[in-house]
Amino acid sequence: MKFLIGFVFTCILGLNFQAQNELNDKIQQIDSLRSKEKELLFEIEQLKLDQGLMQLKQVGYPVSSKPLEIKEYKGFVIGFDCEYKMAAWTFHQLNTDVTFGSNSRTNDFRMDSTISCGTAKEVDYFKTKTNEDGTIQTRGFGFDRGHLVPSADLKWSKAAMSETYYYSNITPQKPDFNRESWAQLESLVRKISDNEKKTLFVLTGPILHKGLEVNNESENKLKIPELHYKIIVDLSTESPRGMAFLMPNKKCDSKVSNYVVPIDSIERLTGLDFFSLISDSLEQKIEGKADFFAWDVKSYINNVEPLNPLELPKGYFNTEQAASKAGSTVSIVGKVVSTKFISKSQSTFLNLDKEFPNQIFSITIWNNARRNFSFKPETAFDEKYIVVTGKVTLDKNGVPTINVKSEEQIQLWEE
């Protein structure tokens, strides 16, 4: 009997050992497949980046009568003006991959040592000093480090996105321009690409001339551009067209569509020849006129990029950080880009930074709580930057939200 029990036990051990080996083998196979997938995704990313640069070359980099230093990065190209220590133009492709990109901002602002004449640097935008108690004090010069090629346009490639933080891709921009008007334009261009499922050619730059105001506090005495331009072009055979935006470096009170101009007007201002290698007839077609409504601008909205978390005071968070604060009482800062009041239930909904149905953070004010407001929140806060304080919860779709019970929980955001 003991022999039989021992035999059965040995068989069971053998079966368990065999099963464990099979399990380990499958786990190793999965790990190998994941490793191979990672390698293939990296190779695909590199091929896409290389293909993008090749297509930029095929249509032609902007031609300038003034010598510029041409620098090719992973996801974009710039024509750097050494006199102004900033790019006269940047050139990149925007495609639907950005919709699926999941990389977060890197915020690794840095000089580009490969630019022979040197780029701007941190001390051109703010100064820091260490206090006796070891704390660091920062004093800005009143300008944001504004991107030309938006980091969000390349969020599908972490390496390419990181390169947008070189100071060669940065210009001094007024905060109200960089964080509101310019950010709204950037979001609109991404929305057009996504709506049309098209690859767009995008040119961006400042209008540079000798009469610009000088920031004497910056180490390199940077000049402050009065105007920035952004050009988008669709070169697909079925609907080739283009338009440009020319915006002042300040908070723009008009809609983005009011700043649309023909591309050839930007050429006259800058002295640049865009799309130098395409046929004259095609160039004339895309550059001679601009029709905002020739593009798919449905859902043309006020979506903006979440504020840079590094530029927020301690204890304040942007809308992208809200989900990680679920269960905590915190202060969230963002722009109200869409509102909804339901008369039947007397409830109010505010979406910050991204509109419904792509909202990333919402405020709900239920019927009983709305009675605590002396004004209509959907009207008072529409298109305003606000800070809301309360406990963050996640709705059934995983969207972070704060249920507001009194008007004191919401304040206009004064920077």
Q: What is the pLDDT of residues 172-192, one digit of tens each?
A: 999 999 988 899 899 899 989
Tens of pLDDT along 16-53? 767 777 778 778 888 788 887 778 877 888 888 889 89
Within a 13 Å sphere around the CA of 62, how many CA atoms are in the beta-carbon half? 36
Range list of H helices, 197-338: 263-270, 280-287
Tokens in use for 138?
A: 């920062």
Listed residue (137, 141, 90, 93) closest to 112, CA to CA = 90
What's the whole-number mean pLDDT along residues 117-130? 90
362-365 and 400-403 beta bridge pairing: parallel
Helices and strands, counts by H and E, the chain: 9, 22
Tens of pLDDT along 332-386? 999 998 888 888 888 999 999 988 777 899 999 998 899 899 999 999 998 899 9
Q: In which band, very low, low, confident or very high, does the pLDDT at 5 lie, cut at 50, 70 and 90?
A: low
Residue type, 40: L
Peptide bond into 248 cis (omega under 30): no
Q: Is this prediction's pTM over 0.95? A: no
Listed residue (164, 383, 87, 382) closest to 256, CA to CA = 383
Q: What is the dihedral of CA 219, 160, 157, 354, to 10 degrees?
A: 40
Would you mind telling me the total number of residues written for the chain in this entry? 415
Q: In which band, very low, low, confident or very high, does the pLDDT at 194 lie, cut at 50, 70 and 90?
A: confident
Q: Is there a contact between 116 and 69 (Cβ–Cβ < 8 Å)?
A: yes
For residue 6, give every residue at least 6 positions away whose Cβ sits within 8 Å of its Cβ, in sequence order, or none. none
